[in-house]
Structure 1
Amino acid sequence: MQHPPEPPRRLPAGTVQAVLVGLAVAVLGTWEVGFADIRTQMSDRDQILFVCAFAVAVASYRLRPSLALGLLWALAFLQVWNGVPLLLVELSVAVIAFGCGRYGSVATLVASAASVPAIGLLLVLTYGAGLELLEVPSANEAYYSALWAGSLRSLLTRVLLFGTALLIVPWLVGVLVRVLRREARTRAEQIETARERDQAEELAEVKEGQARLARDVHDVVGHSLAVILAQAESAQYLPDDDPARLKDTLATIATSARTSLQDVRHVLGATGDRPPSGGLDTLVEGVRASGHEVISTEIGEPRPLPPELATVAYRVLQEMLTNAIRHGRRDEPLHVERHWQDELRIEVSNVVDTAGVETVPIAARDVAPAPGNGLEGMRRRLESVGGRLDVRPRSGAGFPTFTVTAWLPTSAT
């Protein structure tokens, strides 16, 4: 089995540029050694080696600025020790100064900053030694003192200009570029982080919309199927000689199915911000029409709810009635209460059917359903608008009962 060829490795950015600069320094330095009359204790071969080492230092300014700085100091001492005058190619020391400020580590940055005055001091001590500071002829002391002072001022001026032009300015430029690049990189990272956060928020909104759609479909289909099932089962006990009641039951089933289909279309049509027409009373009447006895009580002054709150109230009552039909006794009434105060309190209670296979308490069956379904779905709906849910089985005289109570605000905050 042949493996695909590995892609060619790319050189680090700026490597070719640094190598070309080093080669240029080596060529110019070799030419200068060969054609200039340089008085020094070093042989021509050693001078060429000196220039080549300097070219290596310059070529290392980007990838290894610490190496470049170390070579520069070693070459400076070698130059002073052998009395080599300043060469023209040494003007490229500005490249090393820039590289230390731009690409060097913190230690290299500090060392290069300290090297600027140190190199200036080295030049003063080296090339100022020939001024014969200690041998001032007494015959014309004033003349030679003035000559000495003028030569020292000239040397200090050249050293200052050399240090400023070739060391300080390039180093400062490198530090400035370093800071600007870092700020640009930080700004780019902040923009990327903000973009990722926006994408995560959009994805969360999409998932929340999908979960909300799943809850709506579950509530609509579950409630309608529970009502239709109750109506169909009640039709089994109708007398055979009463076709009129059978037709009424079938008509009620058709109406429930048609209403369910409209609700599903309503949900899938992304118009879930408004509840189906008819409101809460329609749900109660639909259960009553299925053959269940419903005792409905409304306390307080009803008031219109904002669309979002009306949708939550409708879906919560729909799920309450669905659970009551599914798990309650058919020969016992459902109790539905609505209390209008500062909050709307909706309460549905039913007698628990413990016969046959329905022996598991409803609380144990519905407290931990699939996400978005049952009691958990109601709880999430209510919490999304600042409401709350209470689920409580009760036992007393007769059969045990199960009560679900929901509170939700009557005005949007």
Structure 2
Amino acid sequence: MFGRVRAWGSRHRNLIDGLAIAPLVILCAMAIPAYVESPPPGGRPPGVWGYVLLSAALVIPLAWRRARPVQMFAVVALVCFCQWLLGIQPVPANIAVLVAMYGVAARCALRWAVAAGAVVELGLILALIRWDVAVEPLAIFSGTFFVLSPWIAGIYANTRRRYLESLEERAERAERERDQQALIATAAERARIARELHDVVAHNVSVMIVQADGAGYAMSSDPEQARQALGTISRTGREALAEMRRLVGMLRQDGQAEEYAPQPGVAQLDDLVTQVRRSGMAVEFTVGGTPIDLPEGEQLVIYRVVQEALTNTLKHGGPGAVARVDMTYRGREVLLQVTDDGRGAAAPPGIGGHGLIGMRERVAMYDGSVRAAPIPGGGFQVSVRLPVSRAA
């Protein structure tokens, strides 16, 4: 709610500035009858219209205290000085000089704040002398305290505002750097995969296609040549498989031996959920709709998304977190939703992880969409929409 009020105030700065000086205007208006009937002793009374004009000259410049604080203070101080030269009695609107000083202290550099405070302090001493007030240390001390209070408040507001601005700037810079790191990681991953796939697959598959075409033509006329072509296809396929295994081995970081097993799919989700439950986290798994046969690639995507989401819950959900996996077959698409009631936005950010990036890249290969964000009130949710390919 505070954020909405602040945003509204940013859009209507002029209105806020006008409302801020409204109490001073009301005070000046209410003081007119009492001021006319019994003006304060000393000095020359300005009269009704003089009172109104003097009050307007002091109050109206305050509307620009945010846009032009130094110029506004100069105008108000000049009006007060002219009032002192003409010997006109003080009016309630003279409080505007303190408001103007506060505006300079809250909006400008320290040197301008010090200059404004010195001018007001000098004006206080001149006023004490002008109105035949005994210039005693107690009077000067009390008047100085009356001047320093808004001046110190303005300095504090200025410091606080600059601190908040620096925090916002650091947050924006960190967000930009995070987005840049994500883009760099995505581009590097794509470039590396493209290079490896081209080097490993393109040549061998091209040879296999040529040999398969030749075997098809020579099948009836020259069986021996056809057998040689099939042997070349078999040998080239084994070489391609060995190169792909080498690529997978390069991607591994734990140094463990490779296991050449079929890629997991939808059928292995129950085993995955059971494995997570054994680790101590409660998981609910439901399947809705009419199941259909999905291509192995899309099944692998679904499995990896669930695996990554549950892994993130284990890492960041906190103790006692409960996860729920909902998989729904709906027409020509599969909807997947992994929700937990963990710490959500309060969880500390991971360092160097690209799990969500890899998740989006996998789903994007099949023209799907991913939404991963904290849930209001606590928890985290990963929602995936995966269109069913024509091969299904």
For normalisation by structure 1, the TM-score amounts to 0.49
Pick the aligned partner of 2:198 from 201, 209, 218. Answer: 218
- Whole-angstrom CA distance in 2 between matches of 1:64 and 1:104: 10
Offset, 1:161: 1.2
**Counterpart of 2:70 in 1: which secondary structure?**
helix
TM-aligned CA distance change 1:51 to 1:159, over 3 Å: farther
Offset, 1:174: 0.6
Match of 1:94 in 2: 98
Match of 1:334 in 2: none
The answer on whether the counterparts of 2:21 and 2:59 sit within 8 Å (CA) in structure 1 is no
- Whole-angstrom CA distance in 2 between matches of 1:171 and 1:158: 19
Pick the aligned partner of 1:159 from 140, 158, 168. Answer: 140
TM-aligned CA distance change 1:86 to 1:126, over 3 Å: same
TM-aligned CA distance change 1:36 to 1:259, over 3 Å: farther
TM-aligned CA distance change 1:72 to 1:157, over 3 Å: farther
Match of 1:18 in 2: 20
Using the aligned pairs only, state the percent identity: 21
Pick the aligned partner of 1:208 from 188, 197, 210. Answer: 188
Offset, 1:19: 4.3
Q: Comparing 81-90 with 110-119, which one deviates more in the overlay? A: 81-90
Match of 1:273 in 2: 251
Pick the aligned partner of 1:76 from 80, 89, 103. Answer: 80
One-letter amino acid of the structure 1 residue matched with residue 174 of structure 2: A
Q: Give the length in aligned residue pairs.
A: 242
Pick the aligned partner of 1:175 from 135, 149, 155. Answer: 155
TM-aligned CA distance change 1:38 to 1:59, over 3 Å: farther
TM-aligned CA distance change 1:36 to 1:103, over 3 Å: farther
Deviations 1:330-385 (A, max 9, x none): xxxxxxxxxxxxxxxxxxxxxxxxxxxxxxxxxxxxxxxxxxxxxxxxxxxxxxxx
Offset, 1:265: 10
- Whole-angstrom CA distance in 2 between matches of 1:239 and 1:59: 95
- Whole-angstrom CA distance in 1 between matches of 2:86 and 2:66: 29
Higher relative contact order (CA 8 A, sep 6+): 1
Larger Rg: 1
For normalisation by structure 2, the TM-score amounts to 0.51
The answer on whether the counterparts of 1:22 and 1:58 sit within 8 Å (CA) in structure 2 is no
- Whole-angstrom CA distance in 2 between matches of 1:112 and 1:206: 55
RMSD over aligned Cα, in angstroms? 4.0
Deviations 1:78-107 (A, max 9, x none): 332343343344345432221111124667
The answer on whether the counterparts of 2:61 and 2:76 sit within 8 Å (CA) in structure 1 is yes
**Counterpart of 1:86 in 2: which secondary structure?**
coil
The answer on whether the counterparts of 1:103 and 1:178 sit within 8 Å (CA) in structure 2 is yes
Unaligned 5+ segments in structure 2 are: 1-9, 259-392
- Whole-angstrom CA distance in 2 between matches of 1:89 and 1:244: 111
- Whole-angstrom CA distance in 2 between matches of 1:52 and 1:19: 12
One-letter amino acid of the structure 2 residue matched with residue 17 of structure 1: L
Offset, 1:32: 4.2
The answer on whether the counterparts of 1:227 and 1:256 sit within 8 Å (CA) in structure 2 is yes
One-letter amino acid of the structure 2 residue matched with residue 162 of structure 1: G
Pick the aligned partner of 1:53 from 57, 74, 77. Answer: 57
**Counterpart of 2:251 in 1: which secondary structure?**
coil
Q: Comparing 60-69 with 95-104, which one deviates more in the overlay? A: 60-69
TM-aligned CA distance change 1:11 to 1:98, over 3 Å: same
Structure richer in helix, relative to its length: 2
TM-aligned CA distance change 1:42 to 1:274, over 3 Å: closer
The answer on whether the counterparts of 1:29 and 1:51 sit within 8 Å (CA) in structure 2 is no
Offset, 1:208: 0.8
- Whole-angstrom CA distance in 1 between matches of 2:219 and 2:94: 115
Q: Find out whether 1:37 has 2:39 as its counterpart.
A: yes
- Whole-angstrom CA distance in 2 between matches of 1:116 and 1:252: 97
Pick the aligned partner of 1:198 from 178, 185, 203. Answer: 178
The answer on whether the counterparts of 2:25 and 2:59 sit within 8 Å (CA) in structure 1 is yes
Pick the aligned partner of 2:230 from 246, 250, 254. Answer: 250
The answer on whether the counterparts of 1:26 and 1:52 sit within 8 Å (CA) in structure 2 is no
- Whole-angstrom CA distance in 2 between matches of 1:271 and 1:196: 34
Match of 2:168 in 1: 188
Deviations 1:228-274 (A, max 9, x none): 377579979x999973453143133145347647967997xx77615
1:67-146 aligned within 5 A? 67-104=71-108, 108-128=112-132
Q: Find out whether 1:27 has 2:29 as its counterpart.
A: yes
TM-aligned CA distance change 1:94 to 1:243, over 3 Å: same
TM-aligned CA distance change 1:24 to 1:63, over 3 Å: farther
Unaligned 5+ segments in structure 1 are: 1-8, 131-150, 280-413
- Whole-angstrom CA distance in 1 between matches of 2:160 and 2:112: 19
- Whole-angstrom CA distance in 2 between matches of 1:97 and 1:204: 50
